Chain A
Amino acid sequence: MLELRQKYAINGILLYVFSTIFVVQLSFGRVIDDTTWIALFWIILLFAAFNAVSKSFVQESSARRLYYFTLASPVSVVVSKMIYNALLMIFLGGLSLGIYTLFMGMPALGMALFLPAFVLGCIGLATAITMVSAIASRTGNNAALTAILGFPVVLPLLLLLIKASQLSLSRSVADIQMLKLLLSITLIDAVVVILAIVLFPYLWRD
């Protein structure tokens, strides 16, 4: 577990989340309308995800990669990385949600609808960026490349998430439109995971 080996990494991300939310509070004031609240929340979470998850392959040394290579099959490596990153992302997202609510207040979100979208969104962001980070780690200048490669990949997910959150503003029980949105987010998550499992072995070997 990378974050336990490098304590500064997780502390850095936590500090990043905290200071971003603080900057948002300073620049917007406490009163913002609900749509802005949602958009800002997901943007903060997107950049937190890039910061947190992109480390998963990029910061591994090549010696350690070789060690994993002899030890485990590529599929189990990528699946474990994705599970770990998804959990990390849910933890991080929950924490940001808490701090964000503390500073910016909370609009009347239908929690029964917002939370599933939130959890699915965290999983999707984490898995997609894990895969992109695996691609970027095989190139020379990988820090910038993760963002460039990852942005088009996560943008569809992000738009769906913002839409789902906005829908959960006005209602508390699921209707057909909300179910369709949640279903497409789940679909994206599933496709990302399947593609990662199929494609990762090609990245892993030398």
Chain B
Amino acid sequence: MERLTETKIPVKGLWWKLTGLVLVLYSVIAGLLIDVPQLPVIHQSIRNLFYHVCMWFGMFVMYGTALVYSIKYLARYRLEDDLYVSGAVYTGLFFGTLGLLTGMLWAKFTWGDFWTNDPQLNGAAVSMMAYLAYAVLRSSIDEVAMRARISAVYNIFAFMLLVIFLGVLPRLADSSLHPGKGGNSSTMEGLDMTMRMVFWPAVIGWILIAVWLLTLNVRYRKLKLKIHLNQTQS
């Protein structure tokens, strides 16, 4: 029977959670108050940059974490690592959903439609499908160690292909509505100083919040797993 070790949170303490909270609060308030450059088409909706793009940052950090812990699990078979993998995937899915919703809202007001045929959007849709498939795969295996191993394999496999897909395909495409791809000028270059002062703190803040959610998720499900293992033992 595999034993569960004590919860080791990567970074202990309250300070980083508070930092995350403060940064997110700051970005929400400042994002609505600061002067933004007047650009054609997007106008004031450029403020959505502070919310929409941060969701994707949070999601990618979570999926990256899931990949690292998948490799760790296959290297040393500790159930704790598997909890991190699945926790990171679930948190990443949560952030991905928020990113899709904020993005759809933004798209409706700037491009005139909730969904456009854009390589970036295709990538987002495929990665959502891949990780939902991961969730289905997990729920279809009952045995704990087996579930951890098989789903770690699938996670690595899907992630690698997604990286190629997200990295290669938008650059091959002739046109994209998203900035910075397909010959469009990048918003990051056009981003003026005041916007940067809100944007990067917002990104860091949301990533910290994502990590916090991940640790909460892992601790909760570790308790559930302990109960499950105790029941099956007795």
Partner-binding segment picked from A18-26, A44-52, A69-77, A136-144: A136-144
Q: B133 an interface residue at 8 Å Cβ cutoff? A: yes
Q: B140 an interface residue at 8 Å Cβ cutoff? A: yes
A148 touches B164 (CB 8 A): no
The count of chain B contact residues (Cβ–Cβ below 8 Å) is 29
Across-interface contacts of B28 in A (CB, < 8 A)? none
Q: B101 an interface residue at 8 Å Cβ cutoff? A: no
Q: A87 an interface residue at 8 Å Cβ cutoff? A: no
Tell me the total A-B contact number using a CB cutoff of 8 A: 86
Q: B130 an interface residue at 8 Å Cβ cutoff? A: yes
**Bound form: Cα–Cα A151–B127 in Å:** 11
What secondary structure prevails in chain A residues at the interface with B?
A: helix
Q: A15 an interface residue at 8 Å Cβ cutoff? A: no
**Bound form: Cα–Cα A107–B152 in Å:** 44
Across-interface contacts of A135 in B (CB, < 8 A)? 137, 150, 153-154, 157
Q: B107 an interface residue at 8 Å Cβ cutoff? A: no
A199 touches B156 (CB 8 A): yes
Contact surface of A with B, Cβ cutoff 8 Å: 128, 131-132, 135, 138-141, 145, 148-149, 151-153, 155-156, 159-160, 163, 177, 180-181, 184, 187-188, 191-192, 195-196, 199, 202-203
B150 touches A159 (CB 8 A): no
- Residue in A145, A151, A156, A203 whose CB lies within 8 Å of B153: A203
Q: B146 an interface residue at 8 Å Cβ cutoff? A: yes
Across-interface contacts of A139 in B (CB, < 8 A)? 137, 140-141, 150
**Bound form: Cα–Cα A82–B180 in Å:** 38
